[in-house]
Amino acid sequence: MPIRILPSQLIYQIASGEVIDRPYSIVKELLENAIDAQASSIWMMLHNGGESYISVKDNGTGMCLEDIELAVKHHTTSKLTADNLENIQTLGFRGEALPSISFVSRMSITSKCKEDEWGWFVQFEDQSIASFKPSICTTGTHVEVRDLFYKTPNRLKFLKTPEWEFQGILNTFKRLTMAYPSIAFNLNNDKKTIINFLAASFEDRIADVLGEAFKDNSLMIEERRGYIRLKGFISLPSFTQSTANFQYLFVNGRPINNKLLSSAIRVAYEGLLFRNRYPMLALFLDIPGEYVDINIHPKKYEVRFKEAEFVKETIKNILKETLTKTRFAVSTSFGEETFSSFDSGDFSGIVPFSKKNLREEFRRKNKGHLSLNESLDISYRQYPLGQAIGQIYNTYIISEGEEKFFIIDQHAAHERILYEEIKESLKGRGLKITPLNPPLNFKFDPAKRFDVLLKYQKELKLFGLNINFKDYPQFLRVEGIPEILGEINVESLLSDLVEEIIEFGEPLRLNEHVHQLCSTLSCHLSIRGGEKLSLQELNKLLREIEGVNYSGQCNHGRPTYLSLRKRDLEKIFRRNT
């Protein structure tokens, strides 16, 4: 079949399909246009999940009749002041949104410029003006979209229920409201007001969208490192969700999905989360235009960083440093699943420690540390967790602090202490390597991309994986594997590592697997619930947990302690009346 030029209508259909595939795609494009038009208020109305009707009205700069006509032509825009994509300052820039919308629906635009006496109402059909007339309206733009995909029934049948489509719209709407708190937003669905946000501070808008519980259980970030500025909120490790759907990422005010940043978040929270739990967060990254490429896909959800490794390490380090502030912070609310049992498995004998020796060492170090009389003279200011005054159920420590008291889970607290000690030990000496005799040789196969492992040769050896690249690219030789992993399929492990390095920029799975084993080990070696401790031992445990990073939760993400203020206790017993 010879090559031929496609008809214009087919070209527009293909282009429109890339930009508009669901109602939320239209909402995103129209909201971005309103924001770019410097609106201070934006109103949106929907019917039938956006399939029947979508209306977005703003009080921005508006358009004259000539601009309205040009706006529905492909690749026409007012947002690129120069013919380059190096320093894009707006959300839109491609000139594809309105042409695509007008092609897949019945669209009308009512708009007025500040300088004009009246505005214009324009109806479109197939990207051309079907009719127009003067309109008495306020400055700004009102876009109405009806009968989505009426010309492409095949696309229409792939839409889901109105309720499902509305959730996609709601998520899109909320993301943009977070990024632009100085704008008032109103959302009406099927004649019901769903959202009515007034212009607010950044902190208050985040609370409006993610809830007061998130605000109360999150840490604020505002850091500048080199040309990177990062601000936002991240949840305490003990305040989590069952999915990663509550992680909101923005670059230069643009909502994005980015595996690199997701990887940085994953590494930063390593060893702090309960199994299959995800932190909530809203992070806003500001970066000069010359260091980021947003022209990756028509939907503009993807970005590419010029110095990807620097961006990733910077974000990871900022998050880790911020999370160290959780030493004396725990969530104010916990779901029942947070307290569900944790199946640790059995890895006894992996590391040269034993429960008996560890506990004997703990008691030996404690001997004479605090007498009963000394414990009564503790400086609350010096010791944030105060003075242990007893145990309940031989599991929970009761401690009196300054104007508050604490309930500490002795097993969870000791588990965090041991986990950090084991991690530091591994960091210093690395994992013990089991030599392979004979070594395993893997022939060069371009499809397997084992070459990407070369960059991480030293890091892999620290984790017990000894790879000799002397004869590469003919073949590579695996001479040792981590003893802690036992019998494993080495080729499968290498393939997994390659896949992760290509996707995330580092061998996460090996790192996480080793840390999971460290977590399991610390769980088995720590003081158990039900074990009676002396008052001296209780206070010694408090002093040690105070000196450990991330002490607010054990390495499984469960809280190590809870606190109650003295004044709250007095309220319960009505002593303040």
pLDDT at 99 over 90: no
- Percent with pLDDT over 70 in the chain: 76
Is there a contact between 229 and 285 (Cβ–Cβ < 8 Å)? Answer: yes
Q: To 10 degrees, what angle do helices 490-504 and 259-268 make?
A: 110
Break the chain into its structural domains and give their ranges. Answer: 8-197, 202-328, 351-577
CA dist list (Å): 305 to 289, 295, 308, 433, 504: 10, 11, 5, 36, 13
DSSP string, 354-379: -HHHHHHHHHHHHTTT--HHHHTT--
Is there a contact between 551 and 559 (Cβ–Cβ < 8 Å)? Answer: no
User: Sorting pLDDT into bands at 50, 70 and 90, what band is 214?
Assistant: very high
Tell me the H-state helices in 408-484: 410-429, 457-462
pLDDT at 331 over 60: no
The predicted-structure confidence for 366-376, as pLDDT tens digits, reads as follows 544 433 344 44
The predicted-structure confidence for 101-148, as pLDDT tens digits, reads as follows 888 889 999 999 989 999 999 998 877 788 889 999 999 999 999 988
CATH class of the structural domain 202-328: alpha beta
**Taking residues 352-361, what's their average pLDDT?**
46
pTM of the full predicted structure? 0.69
Predicted confidence at residue 458, as pLDDT, reads: 75
Which of the following CATH numbers is that of domain 351-577: 3.30.1360.70, 3.40.630.10, 3.30.1540.20, 3.40.50.720?
3.30.1540.20
| CATH architecture label of 8-197 | 2-Layer Sandwich (3.30)
Task: Count other C-beta atoms under 10 Å from residue 60's C-beta.
Answer: 22
- Over the chain, what is the mean pLDDT? 80
Task: Please provide residue 278's backbone torsions phi and psi, each rounded to the nearest 5 degrees.
Answer: -130, 140
Whole-number Å distance between alpha carbons of 521 and 388: 27
The predicted-structure confidence for 40-96, as pLDDT tens digits, reads as follows 999 999 999 999 999 999 999 999 998 888 888 876 776 666 666 666 777 766 667
Whole-number Å distance between alpha carbons of 561 and 554: 10
Domains 8-197 and 351-577 share a fold: no
Q: To 10 degrees, what angle do helices 508-525 and 490-504 make?
A: 110
Whole-number Å distance between alpha carbons of 485 and 424: 19
- Percent with pLDDT over 90 in the chain: 34
Lowest mean pLDDT among 5-19, 200-214, 236-250: 5-19
Strand order, beta sheet including 228-235 = 218-225, 228-235, 281-286, 247-251, 254-256
CA angle 254–257–263, rounded 5-degree value: 125
